[in-house]
Structure 1
Amino acid sequence: MPTIHIYEAALCCDTGVCGVDVDQSLVTVTADVRSLQELGADITRHNLANDPTAFTGDETVRAFMHTVGSKGLPLTVVDGVTVATGAYPTKEALHDLAGLGTPATTSAERLDLGLTQKTAGGCCGGTGCC
């Protein structure tokens, strides 16, 4: 099975539900990655703020950061090959990249992951950061 790494800009919250502005792309990619992991896919997200060594330890990512910088993130790499930059791949694209075919998860199933339920009172105990 292919190994997928998603390298993201510095974020305090990977779910997208921190603070007052919800980032729907983060909510979506969080649900998509969790869904793929549950199916056995080898997929990992790396946040520049929390996992900087992942950015320096991979030559593909290091070269990308040197050339484009963090403004080009997110960066998606599959088995050492860059497959997407500047935006998160869709759920369908991630399934294809993982070799899993077409996804069956509906938007209603995304709600079951609890990703949109943390908005009341903020997430992470009110610190504003997940």
Structure 2
Amino acid sequence: MTEIIVFDPPQCCASGVCGPSVDPKLSRLAGDLAWLRQSGVSVTRYNLAQQPGAFVENTAIQAILEKNGEDALPVFLVDGEVKSQGVYPDREQLAQWTGLAVECGKGVSPGNDCCG
């Protein structure tokens, strides 16, 4: 089973989808991570403000933070390998990392070749 671990920057709640003005990227990511879970991918998400121990315990994350600071967050690990840092990936990237197929019209970004 593929495992994705997300190390988020400090946010008010675990998903970042809270408060009066929700960032659309975080809302989309919440849906994408739910899709991954439903597809059998193990997904764990850590928030620096709420779970700082997870950041300290992971040597790869600790090294990234020491080198680049919080600007490197979010960091996405796939089966222990750093796949992305500093940006939230889209569903196509998540699918590629996990070997899943994305159905056209279901969370696929406009302009994707499959929808052409």
Q: TM-score, normalised by structure 2?
A: 0.81
Q: After alignment, is 8-17 or 69-78 more displaced?
A: 8-17
> Corresponding residue for 2:55?
55
Q: Residue 101 of structure 1: CA displacement?
A: 2.5
Q: Residue 99 of structure 1: CA displacement?
A: 2.2
**CA RMSD of the aligned region, Å?**
1.7
Instruction: Judging by fraction of residues, say which structure has more helix.
Output: 2
Q: Residue 105 of structure 1: CA displacement?
A: 6.7
| Higher RCO, Cα 8 Å, sep 6+ | 1
Identity level (%):
30
Structure 2: where are the runs of 5+ without partners? 108-116
Q: CA separation in 1, counterparts of 2:30 and 2:19?
A: 13
Q: Structure 1 segments of 4 or more deviating over 2 A?
A: 101-107
1:36-82 deviation line (CA, Å, top 9, x unaligned): 11111012111111111111111111101111111111111112211
Q: CA separation in 1, counterparts of 2:36 and 2:93?
A: 11
Q: TM-score, normalised by structure 1?
A: 0.73
Equivalent residues, number = 106
